[in-house]
Structure 1
């Protein structure tokens, strides 16, 4: 049962300008986004991350590199096209204030499962590839590093929302109810019985409780079952 930390890239020049960047090259973090990425990296530095995977787009790579640089024991960064931004087609690069006037905009808000962006990607296809990429990588992480391993995936707002929706058992048409801010941290643990969403859209707070327990002579297996009544919560990590 590995745990994935889903991080959206920090704020970009396009975010600040109100432009839908999509897959345009050269969209970089602005000063605020760079600071956001650094704060997130510091939050994650308390965890012994075993893998870091990023969308190939520059803004995600910048965010991911900050996270990797803050890891005390070092970490190799991998890229996965499955985590790349949605292909918004003809919408890419246009101001949001113009896109709001498009007829398709209301469908994006209320029935995203019916949306295929003109000249671009269907939102169902976006979700399918993102979920497949994360679940595939999570299985590899657990197979290599064992239960309790924690890794990070750096991606984009709609991608993270679609992954969270899948983990929550939500239809894609409800995923606009989720909010994912720049450089925010969301957490999912996949198990054989079900995924568990441990956090969404967090900006601060200690993450040390996610660290796997130190190995002892007896190996305790974390149960896949949901605790009736909510349980006692995670124990404070021992340092």
Structure 2
């Protein structure tokens, strides 16, 4: 089973200004965001990571950089984990965008939402590329890997919706806060969503158990009745 930790970047100046940053260059973490990413890097310090892969945008590279700072890992980037391409909406205040007819589509029927302008893409495209990226990295890193993908709110929500087996039209029900982690384990037949929007929980359960000779490969079956939890002996 391959486990991916989906880490949203820390709070940015655009977040506090109420502006849709998109792919705008130069958007940095603010002071609170810098503190958030140091805290999450400390939380994850004991989790062995096979790779740390980031959106190419600065706010994600700053966030992921804190995670790899004391590790013998090279930060890698993947454009497919980049923010949704909001086209002509990029850089505009959220309060203005909320008055646009497309806003209701984004909220109520996001699978049909295509952002305006030559650089705009559909949210369905965003989901397809992000899910493809996660699954390709899973194959590349192998079935026993735990790795981290640093991305953006809408992108992580889209990946989680796919993992939940939810239609994209329901993805606005998912909340992904700055510097939160969400965790998905992928098996041969299905993903299991272990955490969503975790901003302070213990992460010991993410550390893979030591391999034992003759140990059976984990099953893809769900536990009937819910099981005893990851802390069970």
- Would the TM-score normalized by the shorter structure come out above 0.5? yes
| Alignment root-mean-square deviation, CA | 1.2
Task: Select which of 76, 96, 104 maps to 1:98.
Answer: 96
Q: Which TM-score applies when normalising by structure 1? A: 0.94
Q: Give the unaligned 5+ runs of structure 1.
A: none
Counterpart of 1:185? 181
Counterpart of 1:227? 223
Counterpart of 1:159? 155
Q: Is the 8 A contact 1:21 1:27 kept in 2?
A: yes
Q: What is the 5 A alignment of 1:6-25?
A: 6-25=6-25
Q: Is the 8 A contact 1:55 1:82 kept in 2?
A: yes
Deviation at 1:218, TM superposition (A): 2.8
Partner Cα separation in structure 1 for residue 34 and residue 207 of structure 2: 26
Counterpart of 1:138? 138
Counterpart of 1:204? 200
Q: Deviations over 1:98-124 (max 9, x none)?
A: 111111111100001111100101111
Q: Is the 8 A contact 1:53 1:153 kept in 2?
A: yes
Q: Is the 8 A contact 1:54 1:80 kept in 2?
A: yes
Partner Cα separation in structure 1 for residue 101 and residue 51 of structure 2: 41
Task: Select which of 105, 108, 113 maps to 2:106.
Answer: 108
Counterpart of 2:78? 80
Deviation at 1:206, TM superposition (A): 1.2
Deviation at 1:70, TM superposition (A): 4.2
Partner Cα separation in structure 2 for residue 107 and residue 209 of structure 1: 38
Partner Cα separation in structure 2 for residue 170 and residue 216 of structure 1: 36
Deviation at 1:197, TM superposition (A): 0.3
Task: Note if 1:176 corresponds to 2:172.
Answer: yes
Counterpart of 2:211? 215
Q: Deviations over 1:157-197 (max 9, x none)?
A: 00000000000000010000000000100000011111100
Aligned residue for 1:229, secondary structure, equals: helix
Deviation at 1:217, TM superposition (A): 2.9
Q: Give the unaligned 5+ runs of structure 2.
A: none
Partner Cα separation in structure 2 for residue 235 and residue 18 of structure 1: 40
Deviation at 1:236, TM superposition (A): 6.6
Q: Is the 8 A contact 1:42 1:70 kept in 2?
A: no
Spell out structure 1 runs of 4+ moving beyond 2 A: 215-220
Q: Is the 8 A contact 1:209 1:236 kept in 2?
A: no
Q: Which TM-score applies when normalising by structure 2? A: 0.96
Deviation at 1:215, TM superposition (A): 2.4
Partner Cα separation in structure 1 for residue 133 and residue 46 of structure 2: 25
